[in-house]
Structure 1
Amino acid sequence: MSPIVLSELPSGPGTLVLCATPRLAAALRQRFGRLQAQQGRRRWDALDCRTLEQWLADLREAWLLRGSPQAWQRRELTPLQERTAWEMRIRQRLGETDTPLFDLGTLAQTAQEAHALQTVWQVRAPASWLTEEHRQFQQWRADFQAWCQTHGWATAHELDTATLRTLAADPTATPLPERLVLAGFHRLPPAALQWLEALRDRGHPVYTLTDEPAASEQEVRSYPDAAAECLAAAQWVQAQWARHPEAELAIIVPDLAEQRLRLQDTLENELAPWLLRNAHAEAPRPFNISLGQPLSETPLVGAALRLLEVFIHPHDLDLQALGSLLRHPHWSDPAEAVARAQVDALMRTALPAHTTLQGFIGWLDRAPEALRRATPMLRQHLATALRLNAEGAGRRLPSEWSNWLPNGLQQAGWLHRHALGSHAFQARQTFEETVQALALLDGILGPITLAETVRRLRQMCRERVFQPETEGLPRLQVLGLLEASGLRFDAAWIMGLRASVWPPAPRPNPLLPSAAQREAGSPHASAGIQQAFARQVHQRLLCAAPALVLSWPRSEGTAECQPSPLLPEPEAQQRLPSPTSGHWGVRALHEPSRLAPPMEDAHAPALGPDERVRGGTSLLKAQAICPAWAYYRHRLGAGTLEDPTEGLDPRQRGTLVHAALEHFWNTVGSSARLRALGEADCIDKLEACVKQALDARDATAGMAPLSPRTRRLEHARLMRLLQTWLEQERQRALPFTVVATERELPLDLDGLPLKVQVDRIDALEDGGWLMIDYKTGTRTDTRNWASERLTEPQLPLYAAIAAPSDPTHGRVAAVAFAQVHLKEPGWAGLAAHDLQLPSVHALDSRHARRHFDAARFPDWDAVLQHWAQALRAVAAEIRQGEAAVRCADERLLEHCDVRPLLRLSERRSQWLALRRQPSAAATERLAP
């Protein structure tokens, strides 16, 4: 084949350029037009550039229209139709028993690729090379070919190969242009080579489009990691445009699918930081990434697929999935978005992890009235989804479902009253086209269920790549290696050239013998084939621009990387550090004082006279552990969404324990009556109390009743737990009388209004009172009661503040946690004198004096006074707006639900940086 350059090609119908990729065909047409304009021509015929596959398809269509004898009467299968047909053939062979053991979609795709290898690359293997898996594939292939023969179908590869063989056998079958030019091909399949050989034998000239000269400026660099490499490439683009504003640039990436998101974020940060603003979210980018994202990952289509899951699984709704639909911006009425988020938060505490759509609608009808009034369209759309599930029963042709689905989605609230921007509008169009493509499967699948339709639609959306159309042609193109081959730019950067990626690793098809693939020289068959292919591509890429940068990352995660063997020796490479980003976010993190003076965030506004803070003792606990936690959680109302659980979560189970014990002690009342109860009577009373607690729980507004099975299990659990605990109560040496249970004590703590509730108060023989707080967990910390910041403030608050303020209250002689636990029941507390209660230590005992030093705490009144002072100090912090991120022990933040807002890692980095500076005051202010 004779070489030829683009400038030597004349315009007109006498030239046909067959290209390896559609992108190359478009680029050559554009470059050819520029050359004609530069030569002063005002009119010219566009260069005829097509891919080989496009030209062969056009040729078959012409044969068919003319009624030529070469015309095939078979219809061409689309890739979707072909894979679906493979699935059906494989399913028939495997049978209903074995099919669930395989990923049928992946297996069909692998079989589809193996069939293409045998068709295009003539992979053949003797019987002795075949394993059981290979023989099974040959059976599937025979079934597939018989089905195609019966129904008049053929794959695109079969049609292209047959067309090429027809042309090779009779080159006069179609008139050829005067000049046939090949562009961008690295290797051609056997049938194409046979056709070209036949053309040469007949003396018809075939040309190959030669590459431009190799880059005159070439640099090889390495960076610490891929993130640094992306940043360096983005800054290189900035520098190129600063010198040559009209330069056409390229960033070429071998593993573009893996690096796309990182590279896109870096390019937006460095080249278009204004895109961060919502108003500019769809503004044109100064770059174009050739690889889009799966259609299923676009928000608009994600909402549709989530809603379809509700259609097909109304009897098994996953609450997490339902929550994501409730919060989704592309579903139901936008005016109800806040109310739907409130529904999501409430349902997580009231419903089990899995429920039914009918049950959820019933629960919503019992929700607080204000929430019901705020969500009329939510109720309507859910009811519509339930109705559509009934309408979608039975089997229909895919084409019928493709007409039914858009109407059903619209009726059920998808895009209800939503104004769509350009990108969202294009995503909707692409999704509707994908839905309509289901009709192509009528003759392959026949009637199917709605669930099967949705499964296939989800798979189609995962496989379809969505790329919003760009305005004009951006001056920066981000491409994969094969897409860039044969293209020409003013400058290019080829990144990610590490040994594990380039040359690519061999990837033989597992359904064909590896030896047969190597013998046929099929793509990906062996390391040698991959090496030779990579060298061809690499050499062509070196001609992509007059100025070229090649780079590779020295590490990937914790693993060390090696450069591609196709790069020059290390002596010719530059080993560079990570560049510094000029993005304001990075500068704010590393050099905050250069952007703005430091802002003190340790103080919030003081508590206003009309401000009411909820939380009770949990507010005091959070403030004592970390003031910022208390401020974010209790004053600003921040928090995390609860994780739905099957049955009851620990908090709800603790509430049931409290309720059952309240009913029990209201009935029994004292240790004497407890001991007088026989075993059967005690069980009867417990049964009644547990039933009463469960009934009250199920009757609570907004709470879904427990299922009969869950209720039985919870009833049995409570009975075991409470019988175990009552054994602890019977073993108490000193008699007691229960004075109060679940007693609410309104309290004003030096201007901080609180509502506290004491779980139980026991009157002892000497007239003193024992304050009890139930704990259904196993972790309690009474040692903290001797510190200045009480991280377990419940009992100290009752004893030192609430009790003295109540004229009806007796003298507090002890405080104790009742650890109501099945495996480790017991007590933990502190007393003025020995109560003969295990782990409730008298103040003068050796154990208590380890923490309560006699010099500071000479008597019980000193303990109460210390508690009162410590609690008032914490209350004063709350009133004054103390909100510093300050924590003595980070382990105490284990259950902090606003931890991301504390920014502990960032503050620790700032603190360490300030330690290296002379200002001690600044260091103390940020100390973690």
Structure 2
Amino acid sequence: MTKSSLSSYDLLFQQFDSHTTLLTPNRRLSAYLHQVFKDRQREQPSSCWSTPDILPLTSWLERLWQQSVCQTFKPAPTLLSASQTDTVWETILKHDKENEALLQLSETADMAQSAWRLIKEWQLNFKDASFLTTPDTAAMQRWATHFTQTCHEKQWLDAACLPERLAEKMLSGDIHLPEKILLTGFTELPPQHQQLFSRCREMGTTVTSVNQTLPHSNHRRLNLADQESEILTLARWAKATLTQHPEASIGCVIQTLDKTRDRVWQIFSEVFETTDSRLFNMTAGKSLSRYPLIHTALVLLNLHQRSLSTQTVSYLLSSPFIGEAEQEQMARSMLDHHIRKTNINQIDLSEPNDAIKTYCPKLAKRLQDFFICLHQTDSLQSFQAWAKTFHDCLTLLGFPGERSLNSAEYQTVEQWLTLLNELMTLDHVAGAVNFKQALHHLNKLAAKRSFQPKTPDAPVQVLGLLEAAALPFDYLWVTGMDDMSWPEQARPNPFIPKRLQRDLNMPHGSAERELAFCQQLTAQFKQSAPHVIFSHTDKQDELALEASALILDLPTQRLMDLALPPFQSINDIVYDSKQLESLLDNTVPISVTDSKTPGGVNLLKLQALCPFKAFAESRLHAKALHAPLPGLRPKDRGNTLHKCLELLWNTLQDQATLLQMEDETLNQLIERCILNALAEETPPHHLNTHYLMLEKSRLHQLLSRWLALEKKRPAFKVLANEAAIQYTLGHLTLSVKIDRIDEIDSGKKLIIDYKSGKNNQLHHWFGARPEEPQLPFYALTDTHQVAGITYAQVHTANCVFKGISQETLDIDGIKPLSDVNMAESLSWPEQLTAWKTVLTHLSDQIYQGVADVDPKDPGQTCTHCHLKSLCRINEAFP
């Protein structure tokens, strides 16, 4: 701690002695002043000293209560904790008959409790007629009446009423007060606290306000492009300042720290090239429920719902905080892949299915034990009993895992145990509850409790606005000083009459109040360090910003004058280092035993699109994880449609039968085929009844439209459905299934490939790298008999054939080869030869293991490719 930091509170400690209590607005300032006192004492000859009485105002009030409650109050009321008070308010709103339409009960209860604190702090009479002017304020009057009656009947006392109750009892002399009270760091004191300290003065205690003083302070203002560059420049400035002044204390105040905490931490870690908390420390905690360990615990307890989303199950399968997570890590990954592949959106884990038992037997056993424990638990219990049940259930699931916890995780586990203890205290204000209600309160406690793992003191402190107020530094930077953010907009509480809030100058009650408060806080920041920078941004999203009027009088600081050293982001460093080592390994030949390569003609398609993509997906099996979707995925719909058409033509056999069939008989046939196809292609638990009904109707209409088109064709008969064949190209033998082979009136064959999509282009069959080589490949399997190839586009928007033929076939959508521009005036035999040459070349590339990162069209091929991080295509471009 530097001398300037110590001297800023000289006047304060000159008035301090063993009979003095020093009160602050928050714990951070109290901790800081304890450290200042200790450092001052170390400069004295004495080697020991008494611990100073320095604490936050709220803690002092609670201490007065604890010291005097038994002597002063008969009978002694129970002082409610914050969580107990939350529960009482939520219960009152829940049982209010006029709140039946209230959608967000917990959030409304929080706002009502906030209004109650303001009512008490500013000594409003909630029974006043002004509270009847709006439905919201009338509701607050009703709730407040109920709350005060409940507290009186139950002998409860909440923190909002504590100062006035203490002030009342001070006159009896039973409350011991110090000789002197010093107040520091308070921007303002509400009337309730002013009355309390007036009573202290009446009882002979001296109460004095003392704030830090800095004789000289250098202030500047700086504008930056946007918030990202503002925080980045702030971090660079903090590092440079620390490098030049290793003993200095540096404050970095970020107005939106509660919303941008994670990004701020990321930027500071990148600039300081470390996450070492000995260099910088972020004081703002985040809610316990956002810590992975606590979040996992809460998600695990949600297993009681039995049916969980696939995303939730996937999260749990990858969590390290469950028993045997490391032992079954690969097995749980495979189980996750299996679940995604089957497109199951909701999973019931109360009865582990065969897949869970097969892949992860230890997890299955833990789940079984978990649900047995729940089954043996009473449906209604006290909060204390539920806390034990929660702990026991998590223990059965192996929480928090077997691996060693780091310091932050260990502290988080301690916070979890504290949270369960806090849950037990709700028994004082609520009766027995069920599992869902108990878990709701636990989730709320975790969400409202802010936590920051303890770390060593650091020279650079990253703080929010209010916690930074009154803290002295050697160097200070305050961000967010633009005209839209500073002063802040008024946010009057909806449960207190706006006129009262405005007339009494209550917090956030009016624009005038916000201006005055921000003026005071700005002046306080100017006195917080010898060197202060206020910064603002030029824009927020698309909104242009200017400097706040509260800092316009300050001289401008130029960015270049800060002389910050150059900075490279981690991404830039990695990119620049790409020239350090270069190794081209782009051929991985297939061994002789692998000549029958699985994957079929899709291999040729992938090789044409990008050789590396073909290698990664077919040889490395680097395929994207499936994303579960409600209902049927596009692929599932396509498979179901294929199956319907296969079953239809297995029955019909030829066009003559189709033409002779009565409409009613045909509709019945279509209905049977749809039912059989859905039963075969979709899991029985996968779709609900209403969805199935809609899907059947859609398929029936689509198939009817398609068969109407088939009736208009020249006579044909179906030779094969889903015909399985093998064909050798070069060194590879590929196995494929042809959707359908028709015999046309010439006696030759028309090969049909069903498509449920509508982006089917003939030009994808041509060129040195055809994007859709499937039908050209099929044509090669019987070159003497195939007279044409075509897509059968069975799509709601347009049912049509799209194909080419050796000669005119009188089928709409199928053109003679001579009419197709891409054919380059080749005859049918010549085109077949050209296709064989192209596809054999692709086959040879696959056999030789050609795996170049060479997308045919980066703008198209790479757009939806999942392999960018593996092939590192982006590093090929500056």
Is TM (by shorter chain) over 0.5? yes
For the pair 1:832 / 2:815, whether they are aligned, the reply is no
CA deviations on 1:172-205 (whole Å, 9 max, x unpaired) are: 6545444321111111122332344456678754
> What secondary structure is seen at the aligned counterpart in 2 of 1:562?
coil
Find the aligned partners of 1:533 and 1:320 in 2 and give their Cα distance: 46
Find the aligned partners of 1:4 and 1:893 in 2 and give their Cα distance: 62
Find the aligned partners of 1:416 and 1:753 in 2 and give their Cα distance: 49
CA deviations on 1:849-887 (whole Å, 9 max, x unpaired) are: x43332xx2x11222122222223333444442332534
For the pair 1:864 / 2:811, whether they are aligned, the reply is no
Q: How far does residue 379 in structure 1 lie from its aligned partner after superposition?
A: 1.9
Find the aligned partners of 1:448 and 1:21 in 2 and give their Cα distance: 35
Find the aligned partners of 1:33 and 1:469 in 2 and give their Cα distance: 20
> What secondary structure is seen at the aligned counterpart in 2 of 1:345?
helix
Residue 823 of structure 2 corresponds to 852
Q: In the alignment, which of 11, 16, 20 is matched to residue 15 of structure 1?
A: 20
Q: How far does residue 91 in structure 1 lie from its aligned partner after superposition?
A: 1.8
Residue 253 of structure 1 corresponds to 254
> What secondary structure is seen at the aligned counterpart in 1 of 2:84?
helix
Residue 298 of structure 1 corresponds to 291
| TM-align CA RMSD | 3.1
CA deviations on 1:16-65 (whole Å, 9 max, x unpaired) are: 21112221111112112211222333222232112222222222222234
Residue 138 of structure 2 corresponds to 135
Counterpart amino acid of residue 190 in structure 2: P
Q: In the alignment, which of 40, 44, 68 is matched to residue 35 of structure 1?
A: 40
Closer/same/farther in 2, CA of residues 486 and 835 from structure 1, 3 Å limit: same
- Scaled by the length of structure 2, the TM-score of the pair is 0.91
Closer/same/farther in 2, CA of residues 614 and 426 from structure 1, 3 Å limit: farther
Residue 243 of structure 1 corresponds to 244
Residue 707 of structure 2 corresponds to 726
CA deviations on 1:656-708 (whole Å, 9 max, x unpaired) are: 2323333333343333343344445444544554444344446x8xx857666
Find the aligned partners of 1:47 and 1:894 in 2 and give their Cα distance: 65
Within a 5 Å distance, the mapping from 1:473-872 to structure 2 comes to 473-569=457-553, 572-574=556-558, 582-583=567-568, 585-588=570-573, 592-593=575-576, 596-597=579-580, 599=582, 603=586, 605-607=588-590, 614-697=598-681, 714-733=695-714, 735-800=715-780, 802-803=781-782, 811-845=785-819, 848=820, 850-854=821-825, 857=826, 859-872=827-840
> What secondary structure is seen at the aligned counterpart in 1 of 2:252?
strand
Mapped contact 1:498–1:561 kept (Cα < 8 A): yes
For the pair 1:353 / 2:345, whether they are aligned, the reply is yes
Q: How far does residue 580 in structure 1 lie from its aligned partner after superposition?
A: 8.0
Mapped contact 2:855–2:862 kept (Cα < 8 A): no
Q: How far does residue 828 in structure 1 lie from its aligned partner after superposition?
A: 0.7
Closer/same/farther in 2, CA of residues 709 and 531 from structure 1, 3 Å limit: closer
Q: Share of identical aligned residues, percent?
A: 27
Closer/same/farther in 2, CA of residues 709 and 236 from structure 1, 3 Å limit: closer
Counterpart amino acid of residue 141 in structure 1: A
Q: In the alignment, which of 846, 850, 859 is matched to residue 890 of structure 1?
A: 859
Closer/same/farther in 2, CA of residues 571 and 248 from structure 1, 3 Å limit: closer
Mapped contact 1:64–1:72 kept (Cα < 8 A): no
Find the aligned partners of 1:870 and 1:570 in 2 and give their Cα distance: 73
Closer/same/farther in 2, CA of residues 902 and 794 from structure 1, 3 Å limit: same
Within a 5 Å distance, the mapping from 1:39-438 to structure 2 comes to 39-65=44-70, 67-68=71-72, 73-94=76-97, 98-99=99-100, 101-124=102-125, 127-128=129-130, 130-167=133-170, 174-197=175-198, 205-213=206-214, 215-273=216-274, 275=275, 284-311=277-304, 313-314=305-306, 316-334=307-325, 335-357=327-349, 361=352, 364-365=353-354, 367=355, 372-392=357-377, 394-438=379-423
Q: How far does residue 142 in structure 1 lie from its aligned partner after superposition?
A: 0.3
Bigger mean CA deviation after superposition, 397-406 or 212-221 = 212-221
> What secondary structure is seen at the aligned counterpart in 1 of 2:429?
helix
Find the aligned partners of 1:215 and 1:811 in 2 and give their Cα distance: 98
> What secondary structure is seen at the aligned counterpart in 2 of 1:406?
helix
Mapped contact 2:718–2:741 kept (Cα < 8 A): yes
CA deviations on 1:877-919 (whole Å, 9 max, x unpaired) are: 4444233253437345565444665667x46xx74x5xxxxxx
Find the aligned partners of 2:408 and 2:272 in 1 and give their Cα distance: 20
Mapped contact 1:16–1:179 kept (Cα < 8 A): yes
Residue 458 of structure 1 corresponds to 443
Mapped contact 1:750–1:875 kept (Cα < 8 A): yes
Bigger mean CA deviation after superposition, 646-655 or 151-160 = 646-655
Q: How far does residue 624 in structure 1 lie from its aligned partner after superposition?
A: 2.4
Find the aligned partners of 2:807 and 2:103 in 1 and give their Cα distance: 70
Find the aligned partners of 1:242 and 1:895 in 2 and give their Cα distance: 45
Find the aligned partners of 2:197 and 2:163 in 1 and give their Cα distance: 14
Residue 30 of structure 2 corresponds to 25
Q: How far does residue 599 in structure 1 lie from its aligned partner after superposition?
A: 4.1
Closer/same/farther in 2, CA of residues 191 and 462 from structure 1, 3 Å limit: closer
Closer/same/farther in 2, CA of residues 684 and 51 from structure 1, 3 Å limit: closer
Mapped contact 1:403–1:436 kept (Cα < 8 A): no
Closer/same/farther in 2, CA of residues 245 and 608 from structure 1, 3 Å limit: farther
> What secondary structure is seen at the aligned counterpart in 2 of 1:567?
coil
Q: How far does residue 803 in structure 1 lie from its aligned partner after superposition?
A: 3.3
Mapped contact 1:555–1:561 kept (Cα < 8 A): yes
Find the aligned partners of 2:428 and 2:360 in 1 and give their Cα distance: 44
Mapped contact 2:219–2:554 kept (Cα < 8 A): no
Q: How far does residue 224 in structure 1 lie from its aligned partner after superposition?
A: 1.3
Q: How far does residue 119 in structure 1 lie from its aligned partner after superposition?
A: 0.9
Find the aligned partners of 1:600 and 1:887 in 2 and give their Cα distance: 23
> What secondary structure is seen at the aligned counterpart in 2 of 1:803?
coil
Mapped contact 1:224–1:577 kept (Cα < 8 A): no
Aligned length: 865
> What secondary structure is seen at the aligned counterpart in 2 of 1:757?
strand
Find the aligned partners of 2:124 and 2:106 in 1 and give their Cα distance: 23
Residue 278 of structure 1 corresponds to none
Find the aligned partners of 2:862 and 2:439 in 1 and give their Cα distance: 44
Q: How far does residue 628 in structure 1 lie from its aligned partner after superposition?
A: 4.1
Closer/same/farther in 2, CA of residues 99 and 328 from structure 1, 3 Å limit: farther
Counterpart amino acid of residue 457 in structure 1: L
Q: How far does residue 577 in structure 1 lie from its aligned partner after superposition?
A: 11
Closer/same/farther in 2, CA of residues 789 and 214 from structure 1, 3 Å limit: farther
Q: How far does residue 586 in structure 1 lie from its aligned partner after superposition?
A: 3.6
Counterpart amino acid of residue 39 in structure 1: Q
Counterpart amino acid of residue 299 in structure 1: P
Closer/same/farther in 2, CA of residues 649 and 8 from structure 1, 3 Å limit: closer
Bigger mean CA deviation after superposition, 400-409 or 642-651 = 642-651
Find the aligned partners of 2:514 and 2:365 in 1 and give their Cα distance: 58
Counterpart amino acid of residue 820 in structure 1: V
CA deviations on 1:521-565 (whole Å, 9 max, x unpaired) are: 222222222222222222222222223222222222222222222
Closer/same/farther in 2, CA of residues 892 and 679 from structure 1, 3 Å limit: farther
Residue 3 of structure 2 corresponds to none
Find the aligned partners of 1:745 and 1:620 in 2 and give their Cα distance: 16
Closer/same/farther in 2, CA of residues 440 and 201 from structure 1, 3 Å limit: closer
Find the aligned partners of 2:400 and 2:542 in 1 and give their Cα distance: 44
Mapped contact 1:628–1:883 kept (Cα < 8 A): yes
CA deviations on 1:620-670 (whole Å, 9 max, x unpaired) are: 223323444334433332333223234432222322232333333334333
